[in-house]
């Protein structure tokens, strides 16, 4: 659990840095995630962070919006940074076998941490690509995520929470491969789709 928890914390730290570097002029920019521009993606990352925090605190997540839209533009990055600190505090005492209930259903803390790590890394990649920042997740996190990501994404969520995997020719970083697994691709920006 210690390695997975650290990966989750490192993923949060990476996204915190990415958010802090987003210029206001990029907030309406399309992202590789079909549903979001940069502003709504940041709102979704904040919502995901709220769900990660609630999961660790064993508080129901069903009423946490998919996208938090009430945060002013200037407060998006600071809000996420504050949530990241709270998540570290809440997740630190959990053991891997502890029972928790993330949005996708009952599981162990280890499994929940894996799910939140994958979600955070993939949307971090979306944010980095959309805003022209370095898009490789740090510390080998994406490599480890690739080893288990396919197993934690249930088929029932394809077409609902996740698109079909992207099949693309070429050589891609492990972070981009992980994004492809969840149906995200940078070509969506160039095509002008949202």
Distant-in-sequence contacts of 108-111, Cβ < 8 A, 24+ apart: 109/1, 109/56, 110/1, 110/4, 111/152
* List of the chain residues with pLDDT < 70: 154-165, 169, 188, 190-194
Question: What pLDDT, on the 0 to 100 scale, is given for residue 34?
Answer: 78
Global confidence as pTM: 0.92
- 191: alpha, beta or left? (left if phi > 0; alpha if psi -120 to 50): alpha
Q: What CATH architecture does domain 2-191 belong to?
A: Up-down Bundle (1.20)
Neighbours of 132 (CB within 10 A): 12
Question: What pLDDT, on the 0 to 100 scale, is given for residue 168?
Answer: 72
Question: What pLDDT, on the 0 to 100 scale, is given for residue 184?
Answer: 87
Structure confidence by residue, pLDDT tens digits, 146-190: 999 888 776 655 555 666 667 776 778 999 999 998 888 887 675
Residue whose entry in the numeric block shows the structure tokens 């996208």 = 67
CA atoms in the 13 A half-sphere facing the CB of 163: 14
Domain locations along the chain: 2-191
Q: What residues contact residue 163 under an 8 Å CB cut-off, 6+ apart?
A: 34, 182, 183, 184
Question: What pLDDT, on the 0 to 100 scale, is given for residue 152?
Answer: 73
């Amino acid at each position: 659990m210690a390695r997975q928890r650290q990966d989750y914390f490192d993923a949060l730290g990476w996204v915190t840095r990415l958010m802090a570097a987003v210029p206001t002029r990029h907030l309406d920019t399309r992202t590789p995630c079909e549903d979001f521009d940069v502003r709504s993606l940041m709102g979704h990352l904040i919502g995901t962070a709220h769900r990660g925090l609630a999961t660790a605190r064993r508080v129901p997540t069903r009423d946490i919006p998919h996208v938090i839209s009430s945060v002013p533009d200037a407060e998006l990055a600071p809000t996420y940074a504050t949530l990241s600190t709270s998540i570290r505090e809440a997740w630190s005492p959990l053991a891997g076998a502890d029972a928790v209930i993330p949005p996708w259903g009952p599981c162990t803390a280890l499994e929940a941490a894996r799910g939140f790590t994958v979600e955070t890394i993939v949307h971090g990649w979306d944010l980095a690509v959309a805003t022209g920042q370095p898009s490789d997740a740090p510390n080998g996190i994406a490599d480890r995520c690739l080893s288990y990501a396919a197993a934690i994404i249930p088929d029932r969520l394809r077409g609902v929470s996740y698109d079909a995997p992207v099949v693309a020719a070429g050589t891609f970083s492990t972070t981009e491969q992980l994004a492809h697994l969840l149906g995200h691709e940078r070509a969506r920006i160039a095509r002008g789709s949202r």
